[in-house]
Structure 1
Amino acid sequence: MTLLLKATHIVLACLGIILGITISFIALENYNQGRPDLAPWRFGMSVFLTLYASAQLVTAFKVKITSPHLFIFPTIYIFFAAFWEHSSRGYIKNWAPSPSGEAKIQNLICLTIIIATLIIATRSIIKTHRHKHN
């Protein structure tokens, strides 16, 4: 069972790396096709997703993979990607047609959620590696 969990985690991490790199090509294509406003956001998302999936690939080879690993990694990955895309599109449009005050509040909420997700992702990796060494 452990070997199956490890193999599944490795496949998911490889798919995550591929998706992260694909998003960077999409960002480049957005820039080339006249949507330069989307490109920086998608490059940022690409960097995080690729680094997070790469860290998960390293984790798969260094520690014993358990069922929670298989649940946490794709959940954080998908949530971050979907929320980042949603919030970046809203930010670009300034959350139109909302008033300026509501747009600022929405930007603050989205930034808080993105930072929280980054912290959770980083903590899950650090905790996994620290638990291995204890």
Structure 2
Amino acid sequence: MASFFPHAQRAEDQRYAHSILTVQSLLRGFTIGPVIALTPFSIKTIQNTYRRNQPLSADQLRAGIIRSGARGVAIGTTINAFLLVCRMWGKDESAWKDRSWSLLANKRQRLEDLWCLGSAGLGAGAAMGAGWDWVLSWAQLGI
């Protein structure tokens, strides 16, 4: 994200503080939501496999993973947006600037942002390259 937003020398001079924190919060919700949502799906799938002694087919497993991941994206992004509002409600402009400046100054955070955005770009490219048949098959999942 540091390549999209300018990083000031001092926190007081940081521009686009609200945008930086909002994008950061939504991106984190987008990435952590599916991880949290896939955990119960994985546990349920393992339990059902051992109880029935019959594993899920590849189509059932793929549909369940996509459905759980999509729900996780929606829920994680919504929760993080709500938490951002709760956390920053009533804070002055200097608090926003300080937090956004700290995010842009953190080297590990910048690397994580590059990995997340690069992976999202590759995923979007793969989705577009798969054609309309792939897109229409998503509509049958009932997400």
Q: TM-score, normalised by structure 2?
A: 0.29
Structure with the larger RCO, 1 or 2 (CA within 8 Å, 6+ apart): 2
Mark the structure with the bigger radius of gyration.
2
